[in-house]
Amino acid sequence: MPGPELSRVVLVRYGEVGLKGSNRAWFERTLAGNLRRALRHVGPCHVEDLHGRLLVRPEALATDAGLDAMSSAAARVFGVVGAVAAWETPLDIEAIREAARALVRAALASSQGGPLAFKVSARRSNRRFPMDSMEINRDVGADLLRLLGARLQVDVHRPALTVHVEVRDEAAYVYGNEQAGPGGLPIGVSGRALALVSGGIDSPVASWMAMKRGLYVDAVHFHAMPFTSEQARLKVLRLVSILAGWQGRMRVFVSRFTEVQKAIYANCPADLGVLLMRRMMVRIATRLAERHRYDALVTGENLGQVASQTVPSMAVVEAVSGRIVLRPLLAWDKSEIVDVARRIGTYETSIEPYEDCCTLFVARHPQTRPRFDRVEEAESKLDVDGLVDQALEQTEVVEASDAVGVHGGGLAGR
Ligand SMILES: Nc1ncnc2c1ncn2[C@@H]1O[C@H](COP(=O)(O)OP(=O)(O)OP(=O)(O)O)[C@@H](O)[C@H]1O
């Protein structure tokens, strides 16, 4: 067993954050704060600055499983490129060897079959350490082969395990394969956005992509109960709680859209129905954004040939928005969107077969090249302000969090 002077930590690598000039310190502080929040359910720990890296130090003695849980949680924080459980050792080659042995023994315990292909990869930034990186590679590699050689095999090209040794000024770190993080920017550095989330595949992915670029994202969902079911509403709450797992928490404004839809259906041309609904959604979302200080709206729109997703249709909808409308998926292929949905955990819920309010009254030939004057003429038959106010009065706020799932109540008010 390794001696008591070896400590267990998690090393966290970040990418772009390090490149942002004068904003760098602020980005790093935000990332450290987000990391602390993400780890608070896993175990008490400190986050330290390791000059270009962050180091997570558990407050209590952590088991391998505990450290792996910490590194998995860190690998879900935006801005993190990779995370890995590591041994922190004094600046002494025997301590480094000992940590490498412990690392390899743990890898052998969980690997089956033939010999484990490995290599040692050392980096030395501390010039006072008496061995250079090539010498460390040779020394640690030879030590491992001497002790555990029957189950090991050196493979410098395609190792199953790379034993990393990093010799820094204050300590050395020994660790294995890193877990990839999502990359991007720390949530919060780009501002706040309100995402229009349906129960489909696209809008949860669009929300996630917005988070990935540093936006703090909350959601608004429009339902048309009793035409849409309680199941459809619960499905959206489940999607939001999956997204909350990436952000820590997420609020969803659940807005009753039934009266809006009835009014459009009764008074307006069928071929403009979906566009008029979208314009009303965007008006309501804009009012929520003004009241709750969101800088932008986010949608899952994607340039295509369906009614509301052509350039002319988007222009007609965007015209009523008081906020910039971000469309992270605009140019993506469906297969690319599905890949991300699978990776972030929303896909299986998104494909559950519940109806969205917009699909209820879809015309057979919806307009793909709408004219502004026709749209405005159609809307003159509606009490637009009254309908927006009514929907806002019938908006419920539900909070989702990574810790407690979804809980709700309360009205958004005006
Ligand atoms: N009921 C709803 N509540 C909130 N936003 C909605 C709703 N329906 C549609 N939207 C917004 O409008 C966008 C376009 O919707 P549409 O149904 O045309 O496209 P989609 O490609 O099926 O999107 P999704 O997969 O997100 O449903 C959605 O991505 C979402 O941002």
Tell me the three-class secondary structure of the chain, residue by residue: CCCCCCEEEEEEEECHHHHCHHHHHHHHHHHHHHHHHHHCCCCCEEEEECCCEEEEEECCCCCHHHHHHHHHHHCCCCCEEEEEEEEEECCCHHHHHHHHHHHHHHHHHHCCCCCEEEEEEEEECCCCCCCCHHHHHHHHHHHHHHHHHHHEEECCCCCCEEEEEEECCCCEEEECCCEECCCCECCCCCEEEEEECCCCCHHHHHHHHHHHECEEEEEEEEECCCCCCHHHHHHHHHHHHHHHHHHCEEEEEEEECHHHHHHHHHHCCHHHHHHHHHHHHHHHHHHHHHHHCCCEEECCCCCCCCHHHCHHHHHHHHCCCCCEEECCCCCCCHHHHHHHHHHHCCHHHHCCCCCCHHHCCCCCCCCCCCCHHHHHHHHCCCCHHHHHHHHHHCEEEEEEECCCEEEEEEECCC
Greater model confidence, 383 or 26: 383
Asked if the model's pLDDT at residue 401 lies above 80, the reply is no
Nearest CA to ligand 1 atom 11: 196
Q: Is 129 annotated as a binding residue?
A: no
Q: Which of 13-22, 59-68, 92-101 has the lowest mean pLDDT?
A: 13-22
Q: pLDDT for 92-123, tens place per residue?
A: 999 999 999 999 999 999 887 789 999 999 99
Query: Residue 227's pLDDT is what?
Result: 85
The proportion of the chain whose per-residue pLDDT surpasses 70, expressed as a percent, equals 91
Q: Which residue has the higher pLDDT, 16 or 165?
A: 165
Select from 198, 252, 264, 347 the residue to mutate for testing ligand 1; criterion: most ligand atoms less than 8 Å from CB.
198
What is the Å distance from ligand 1's center to 199 Cα? 8
Global pTM value: 0.90
Average pLDDT (163-174) is 97
- At 413, is the pLDDT very low, low, confident or very high (cuts 50, 70, 90)? very low
Calculate how far, in angstroms, residue 212's C-alpha sits from the geometric centre of ligand 1. 20
223 marked as part of a ligand binding site: no
pLDDT tens, 125-149? Answer: 999 999 999 999 999 999 999 998 8
Checking if the pLDDT of 354 tops 80, the result is no
Mean pLDDT of 200-221: 97
* 168 closest CA partner among 112, 244, 96: 96
341 Cα: distance to centroid of ligand 1 (angstroms)? 15
Q: Is the CB of 302 under 6 A from ligand 1?
A: yes
CA of 278 to the centre of ligand 1 (A): 9
pLDDT of residue 3: 55
Q: What is the pLDDT of residue 25?
A: 82
Cα–ligand 1 centroid distance for 198 (angstroms): 5
- pLDDT confidence band for 17 (50 / 70 / 90): low
Average pLDDT value for the chain: 90
Pairing of strands 296-298, 249-256: unpaired
CB of 216 closer than 8 Å to CB of 247: yes
The per-residue pLDDT for 16 is 67
User: Is the CB of residue 356 below 6 angstroms from any atom belonging to ligand 1?
Assistant: yes
Residue 409: what pLDDT?
40
pLDDT average, residue stretch 185-190: 94
Q: Is 308 in the pocket of ligand 1 (CB under 6 A)?
A: yes
Q: 176, 210, 344, 363: which is closest to 275 by C-alpha?
A: 363
Please give the pLDDT value at position 116: 93
- Average pLDDT score over residue span 209-214: 97
Measured from the CB, is residue 221 less than 6 Å from ligand 1? yes
d(CA 314, CA 291): 24
Quote the pLDDT of residue 411: 40
CB 201 less than 6 A from any atom of ligand 1? yes
Interface ipTM above 0.95? yes
Question: CA gyration radius for the chain?
Answer: 27
In the sheet that 405-411 helps form, which strands lie side by side, from edge to edge?
Answer: 324-326, 296-298, 191-196, 215-223, 249-256, 395-401, 405-411
Q: Which residue, judged by its Cα, is nearest atom 16 of ligand 1? A: 301
CB 305 within 8 A of CB 338: no
Question: Could you tell me whether strands 116-124 and 161-167 are parallel, antiparallel, or unpaired per DSSP bridges?
Answer: parallel
For residue 309, the ligand 1 atom closest to its alpha carbon is 18
Which residue has the CA at smallest separation from atom 19 of ligand 1?
301
CB 235 within 8 A of CB 346: no
Task: Provide the Cα torsion 83, 89, 92, 97; round to 10°.
Answer: -70
User: How large is the average pLDDT for residues 284-299?
Assistant: 98
Read off the pLDDT of each residue in 302-320 and give the average, rounded to a whole number: 88
Residue 178's pLDDT is what? 94
Amino acid identity, position 137 = N
The finding on whether 197 has its CB within 6 A of some atom of ligand 1 is yes
Question: Does 197 belong to an annotated binding site?
Answer: yes
208 in Cβ contact with 239 (< 8 Å): no
Average of per-residue pLDDT across 357-374: 75
pLDDT at residue 382, as a whole number: 95
300 assigned ligand-binding residue: yes
Mean per-residue pLDDT, 281-298: 98
- CA distances from residue 85 to 54, 74, 213, 224, 247 in whole angstroms, order as listed: 12, 10, 26, 48, 22
Calculate mean pLDDT across residues 8-17.
87
Which pLDDT belongs to residue 6?
85
Protein residue with least CA distance to atom 8, ligand 1? 198
| 408: pLDDT strictly greater than 50 | no
Q: Answer whether residue 213 shows pLDDT above 50.
A: yes
Looking at the CA of residue 307, tell me the nearest atom of ligand 1.
18
Please tell me if the CB atom of residue 242 comes closer than 6 angstroms to any atom of ligand 1. Answer: no
Does the N-terminal peptide bond of residue 186 adopt cis geometry, omega within 30 degrees of 0?
A: no
pLDDT band with cut points at 50, 70 and 90 for residue 185:
very high
Question: Is residue 301 within 6 Å of ligand 1 at its C-beta?
Answer: yes
CB 187 within 8 A of CB 215: yes
